[in-house]
A and B are shown apart, each in its own frame.
Chain A
Amino acid sequence: MRGIVKRFPGVVASDGVNLGVRQGEIHCLLGENGAGKTTLMRILYGLYQPDSGEILLAGKPVKITSPSVALAHRIGMIHQHFRLVSTLSVEENVILGVNEGMGPFLRLGKTRKRIAAITDEYGLSVDPKAKVWQLSVGQQQRVEIIKALYREADILIMDEPTSVLTPQEVDQLFATLRTLVDDGLTIVFITHKLNEVMQVSDRVTVLRQGKLVATLPTSQTDKPSLARLMVGREVVFRLEKNPPQQGEKLLQVSRLHTLNDRGLPALRNVSFEVYGGEILSVAGVSGNGQTELAEVLTGLRKATSGRILLGGKDITNRSAREITDDGVAHVPAERIKMGTVSNMSVRENLILKDYRHPPFSRGIFLNYKKAEANARRAMAEYQIAAPSDSSAAKLLSGGNIQRMVLARELSGKPRLIVAVHPTYGLDVGATEQVRQVLLRQRERGAAILLISEDLEEVMALSDRILVMFSGRVMGILDAEEAEAGEIGLMMAGVQREGVRR
């Protein structure tokens, strides 16, 4: 792939990338979330069209305009979220969209023989007659691989294939991948886990902010140098920040367990404290339990065991409403999908949580005069740029939506603030402002739990850093002493010696 450029509104997701992949290798694409790995591969698979640049297959330029063209060029892709039809059987999923002659009629005997040949050769055992919804995630992934092999893919793109697997399943997957490349297949493996890069790849390409940083043979590199390449500058910028004034212990979480949407453990034995006047950051690669942690703390998800104390009061598994009333603010990761009602006015969005209380509520009625005054004040204080306080929230830019969410969540002078990816996708100005707002809240004495995947932000803002990996606390570091490379390793699941757990 040569000089691939792809722009999305506001970001350059792929910025002149030249990627070369050799036949018969496992090539890892390494980078943080948002580094442009998936975008690059979606271009290769025909899901996106590049703004410029070209793709060469075996030296010949090709135009890949859709997934079917990619499939015709024997390129297969396994998405992070599987594209399987759960009510169909394994074999039906495999032959979906494949034309094998015979018009509409199936040759199930032949199909089954081919599937059996594939599964036997690569140890991908799965019952071809089972319905997909009956299968475990690991088995479903095998179906995706079988699908690609059935279409005789030569190049197989796998987008974070291990993120949903158990360690045993990961080992099995890696063994399978080895046999596949031994048979001449080429595999592009998207990941942000250093262990995996070292374990499975022949060569590795590191991407950062849409740019290609380096392509190296895996044997000539090691985890610390890869971590450095991935995260970027060693020295991160520091914000002007007063020394911490640690107050009382506001949040105490002990032995917390919960399940994710699939019913699998998302938090395992998580314990930590947050004090007033400090920012505790939770660092980690997405999908390691951070979202679930924020949801359990704010009453949007049930804990299966463990205790959450807020200022000594047990708030475990209380409703979102009760927890809000107890002084917990939540700046959600999905600021548009969850944090705002796009078709309602800025004024109404600003009272989304407080509408039940005076002054906004007067008996069964809402006091729109007060809501309007509140909106005016908030718009001035937080510099929310909107045509007026009665215009719909969907007209606002991302930065202004986040300002609006912050204005609402912080209006009640909360004791605890749970902020999830508060600057993700914002421009520089808005990012700066959001960070300043959080620091001001810290000075006021609020306890802040900042969940972020942006390591620079974590390093710059926090007093202490908690690193999470696969639902566990890997360790809690003092921000003054922490070093990016070390955090990067812990985020990738490498246990460090001498770190407080």
Chain B
Amino acid sequence: MGWETWFIVTLSRTLAYGTPLLLATLGEIYTERSGVLNLGVEGMMIMGAYAAFSTAYTTGSPWLGIMVGALVGGAFSLIHAFASITLKANQVVSGLSLTMLGLGLSGVLGRGWEGRPLPVSIPEITVPGLSKIPFLGPMLFEGQNLIAYFSILLVVVMWYILYRTRIGIAVRAVGENPAAADSLGISVNKVRYLCTIVGGILAGLAGGYLSVAYRPAWTEGMTGGMGWIVIALTIFAFWNPAIGMLGAYLFAALYHLSFRLQPWVSPELLKAMPYAFAILVLIAISRGTLQKKMGAPAALTLPYSRSEE
């Protein structure tokens, strides 16, 4: 294999593997921006994956499957929203239990579904015309599916909403200083519920992508810790959708390279990189103005109630 082909395949696979990471990270960025830490990404993803697969298998429509996956992810996130926003329970514990519950529930529900191939999966498409572009064509416009392109579109849209619309300003205000938002008539709980649900829908979508598009099959625990990479990526992205895209593809490339570079670099150590990066990023932005510019939303994990000071 020439280095050109090698390069093309690597980037093409990066795009494919990066897509679920990107989708779930976008969701978690919104959730955390509103001040809610949801450690249940892994659980929501696997529930989405299971729901998408079983629906696609039963109805024969992978698109319906992936939509059901997104809905189930969103519904599942409601449990966390209720516990952490309404009951003001500890977000860490609630998120962890969401992950456990998702893994457990999907494992039991999916018992009979293992090893069945999906007759119709979401097709890989070749963009006519564009794929003829030398080098870039096969890299970006061949053998991808629509969801990959959709996720890139989503980056633009979600970035725009977060930074350039009234909604985004409200989301950031609620995560940063809920008391200020509240004093201007913004419902803190409503914003947080919606952002948590957005996170759930996108995690469910990411799971659905895995089970009906990326590798059209169902295996117990098939998300394999991707949800935790998403948590790391959210930090790595400084809670910014655009950097989130960069990070998702970077981590996906690392993942892919961990197989390719096996003779030279240990794949296990490459796989540990995302997690180490996340810690390094936190150290790098822990001081002074960087904390303000790129740090975590100030009210992250803090429940809000209007107190009479």
- Are A and B direct contacts in the complex by CB distance below 8 Å? yes
A85 within 8 A of partner (CB): yes
Shortest CB–CB separation between residue A6 and chain B, in angstroms? Answer: 10
- Chain A residues in 8 Å Cβ range of B4: none
Partner of A83, one of B161, B172, B183: B183
With A87-B292, A104-B167, A106-B166 as given contacts, are A97 and B181 in contact (CB-CB < 8 Å)?
Answer: yes
Q: Does A66 contact B (CB under 8 A)?
A: yes
With a 10 A CB-CB cut-off, give which of A83, A85, A95, A105 has the most chain B CB atoms. A85
- A83-B167 CB under 8 A given contacts A88-B172, A131-B292: no
CA separation between A92 and B170, bound complex, in Å? Answer: 9
Check if A86 is an interface residue, CB within 8 A of chain B.
yes
Q: Are B183 and A85 in contact (CB under 8 A)?
A: no
Q: Is the CB of A87 within 8 A of B170?
A: no
In the assembled complex, the CB of B9 is this many whole angstroms from the nearest CB of chain A, namely 41
Report yes or no: A85 in contact with B292, Cβ–Cβ below 8 A: no
Q: Residue A87 contacts which of B164, B181, B182, B298 (CB distance < 8 angstroms)? A: B298
Majority SS at the chain B contact face: helix
Chain A nearest CB, measured from B12 CB (Å): 36
Interface string of A56-85 (1 = CB under 8 A from B): 000000000011100100000001000111
Q: How far is the CB of A139 from the nearest CB of chain B, in Å?
A: 16
**Contacts A88-B176, A104-B165, A106-B166 given: A133-B292 contact, CB under 8 Å?**
yes
B185 contacts across to A, CB distance below 8 A = 66-68, 71, 97
Contacts of B166 in A (CB 8 A): 95, 99, 103-106
| Residues A67 and B164 in contact in the complex (CB < 8 Å), given A96-B173, A97-B170, A131-B292 | no
B177 CB-CB contact with A under 8 Å: yes
A88 touching B173 in the complex, CB below 8 Å, given contacts A83-B179, A83-B183: yes
Interface centre among A86, A87, A103 (most CB of B within 10 A): A87
**A48-B308, A104-B161 are known contacts. Are A86 and B177 too (CB-CB below 8 A)?**
yes
Q: Distance in Å from the Cβ of A108 to the closest Cβ of chain B?
A: 8
Instruction: Report the interface size for chain A: residues with CB under 8 A from the other chain.
Output: 25
Shortest Cβ gap from A95 to chain B (Å): 7
Pairwise interchain contact B164-A96, C-beta atoms closer than 8 A:
no
Residues of A contacting B165 in the complex (Cβ-Cβ under 8 angstroms) = 104-106
Find the A residue at minimum CB distance from B164: A106
Output the least CB separation between A222 and chain B (Å). Answer: 34
A95→B180 CA distance, assembly (Å): 12
In the assembled complex, the Cα of A47 lies from the Cα of B182 at a distance in Å of 10
Residues of chain A with a CB closer than 8 A to B265's CB: none
Partner of A86, one of B167, B169, B176, B179: B176
Interchain CB contact under 8 A, A83 and B180: yes
CB distance from A55 to the nearest CB of B (A): 18
Q: Which residues of B contact A85 (CB under 8 A)?
A: 172-173, 176-177, 180-181
Which residues of B have CB within 8 Å of A104?
161, 165-167
| Residues in A neighbouring B167, C-beta threshold 8 A | 104
B186 at the binding interface (Cβ < 8 Å) = yes
Q: Which residues of the other chain, B, contact A87 by a CB distance below 8 angstroms?
A: 172, 176, 292-293, 298
**B172-202 Cβ-contact flags toward A at 8 Å (1 or 0):** 1100110111111110000000000000000
| Shortest Cβ distance from residue B86 to the other chain A in the assembled complex, whole angstroms | 20
* Candidates B180, B292, B293, B308; contact of A84 at CB < 8 Å: B180
Report B-chain residues with C-beta under 8 Å of the C-beta of A8.
Answer: 308
C-beta contact mask, A320-346 vs B, less than 8 Å → 1, else 0?
000000000000000000000000000
**Cα separation A96 to B186 with both chains bound (whole Å):** 9
C-alpha gap A229/B84 in the complex (Å): 50
The docked-state distance in angstroms from the alpha carbon of A92 to that of B186 is 14
A88 lies within 8 A of B169 (CB): yes
Chain B, residues 63-77, CB within 8 Å of chain A (1/0): the string is 000000000000000
B-binding residues in A (CB < 8 A): 8, 47-48, 66-68, 71, 79, 83-88, 92, 95-97, 99, 103-106, 131, 133
Given A67-B183, A88-B169, A106-B165, output 11 extra A-B contacts at Cβ < 8 Å: A66-B185, A79-B183, A85-B177, A87-B292, A92-B169, A96-B184, A99-B166, A103-B166, A104-B167, A105-B166, A133-B289
Q: What are 20 contact pairs spanning A and B, CB under 8 A?
A: A48-B308, A67-B183, A67-B184, A84-B177, A86-B176, A86-B177, A87-B172, A87-B293, A88-B176, A92-B169, A95-B169, A96-B169, A96-B180, A97-B184, A97-B185, A104-B167, A106-B166, A131-B292, A133-B289, A133-B292
What 8 A-B pairs are tightest by C-beta distance, nearest first?
A: A68-B185, A97-B184, A83-B180, A104-B165, A85-B173, A85-B177, A104-B167, A83-B183
